[in-house]
Structure 1
Amino acid sequence: MTRRRVRTRADLLEAAFSVFAAKGFGHVSIEEVCEAAGYSRGAFYSNFGSLDELFFALYRERAELIAEQVSGALAGHGPDLDVPAAVDRVTEALLLDRDWLLVKTDFLVHAARRPDVARTLLAHRARLRRAVADHLARARGHTRLPPVLGDTEGAAHAVVAAYDGVTTQLLLDRDVDHARAWLKQLLTALLTDGDGSDGAGTEPPGTEERTN
């Protein structure tokens, strides 16, 4: 891929992200993405076959960013990974981006009605869970995972489900600090049987004033 094409592709992805966040996936045309990026339809089709394909490129970028954040938070720690401390580091480093959550949620609804799209999205989510499971596998020499989770694959499913739930709440209340506090509490409880040393069992800030 030439440097110019790399730049064009990056511009189209950036423009698409902004347009999807503002208008919603499914309410945006290829022409609108091209106009926002300042390119022709020809430039679009030389990089992407469809808006679905463009979205998956966005999804891969974001998944890689999340993986880098997790890996960076865990860097320098060997097999004896301290799970509660790791949860602290990961939840502090993790980007909670409401615009991305809007785009992702729109696309989940779109995929639910398109089995072919759903299969591809499920494959991407499976790769994300495997990455989480790989990190959890390193932790087993230090902290025993709760038996109810089964193996590290089951624990990875629980981690991703907790993340999905907390970020859904973030879409509604727009409170990033509260979402981060809840994510930290949920992950600690899930991965340590609730006996973590970082505040598991206590209410996150503002909980008593909220209803779900």
Structure 2
Amino acid sequence: MRLTRKETQRQTRDKLLAAAHSSIVEEGVAAMSIRNICSAAGHSQGAFYSNFASKDDLLVEILQAHIQDEVVLLRDLVAHCSGDDIEATLQVLAARLAKLADEQHWSLLSIELQLHARRDPAFAERHREGKAACHHLFGELVADLTRRFALRPALPPLQTGIGLYALWMGLAVQGDVEGAIPREQMLVGFFRAMAGLDAPSTRS
């Protein structure tokens, strides 16, 4: 079946995104270039600029898509959790977020985009849009938990989501700190405080 022009453009865009993603994983953000991305995707630089305004624009979209995929996975975990044991659910979610925080190439990408947004007012607007989308996704995850377990959080889901996203990214950027509790415990502690949950009971 012959593809429509729109379908062909979508395929080209997806190949460029996939090539850029592979470049980040294999070489890091600093080493990636538009020329190498286009070569790996089998397209010209003209095709690149037909889909993205710049490398920065591409990077924002990659980070946003990555976080969207992960939040979809986390929301699915909430939807399919068994029983009413919120403690077990929080542990699963926090363990997944902590694992993602260990993926250095994503935290480095976030840092580079944040710094570039501080230096370039034109890019700052694109970066704000990307962060707003990520905040919205985390807010939806919090809303899922709120409905699933009939919680009464101290802040609205979006505001809690913004705080959770900031803590998660901060932990990723900060790395390991001597004397600090594990990342998953930090994340669970934050959410418990925001959700107004009592401290979990312990058995002697």
Give the structure-1-normalised TM-score: 0.70
CA distance in 2, matches of 1:189, 1:121: 29
Paired-residue identity, %: 25
Q: Note the alpha carbon deviations across 1:28-75, whole angstroms, 9 max, x for none.
A: 442232233332212222322321222232123212212211211111
Who is 2:104 aligned against?
98
Structure 1 residues 31, 184: closer, same or farther in 2, change over 3 A? same
Name the aligned partner's letter for residue 192 of structure 1. R
Partners of 1:30 and 1:51 within 8 A in 2:
yes
Q: 3-state DSSP class of the match of 1:24?
A: coil
CA distance in 2, matches of 1:167, 1:110: 18
Q: Note the alpha carbon deviations across 1:136-164, whole angstroms, 9 max, x for none.
A: 3452763443x4xx433332222112201
Q: Could you tell me which runs of 5 or more consecutive residues in structure 2 were left unpaired when the two chains were aligned.
A: none
Partners of 2:142 and 2:157 within 8 A in 1:
yes
Who is 2:138 aligned against?
132
Q: Note the alpha carbon deviations across 1:155-187, whole angstroms, 9 max, x for none.
A: 2222112201221134x79xxxxx9x8332112
Deviation of the 1:113 alpha carbon: 1.0
Q: 3-state DSSP class of the match of 2:150?
A: coil
Structure 1 residues 81, 126: closer, same or farther in 2, change over 3 A? farther
Who is 1:48 aligned against?
52
Partners of 2:68 and 2:137 within 8 A in 1:
no
Q: Could you tell me which runs of 5 or more consecutive residues in structure 1 were left unpaired when the two chains were aligned.
A: 174-178, 200-212
Structure 1 residues 7, 69: closer, same or farther in 2, change over 3 A? same
Equivalences for residues 106-185 of structure 1 within 5 A: 106-138=112-144, 139=146, 142-145=150-153, 147=154, 150-170=155-175, 182-185=182-185
| Structure 1 stretches of at least 4 aligned residues deviating more than 6 Å after TM superposition | none
CA distance in 2, matches of 1:113, 1:44: 24
User: Which stretch of structure 1 is more off in the superposition, 132-141 or 7-16?
Assistant: 132-141
Deviation of the 1:103 alpha carbon: 2.3
Structure 1 residues 48, 197: closer, same or farther in 2, change over 3 A? same
Q: 3-state DSSP class of the match of 2:56?
A: helix
Name the aligned partner's letter for residue 59 of structure 1. L
Deviation of the 1:77 alpha carbon: 6.0
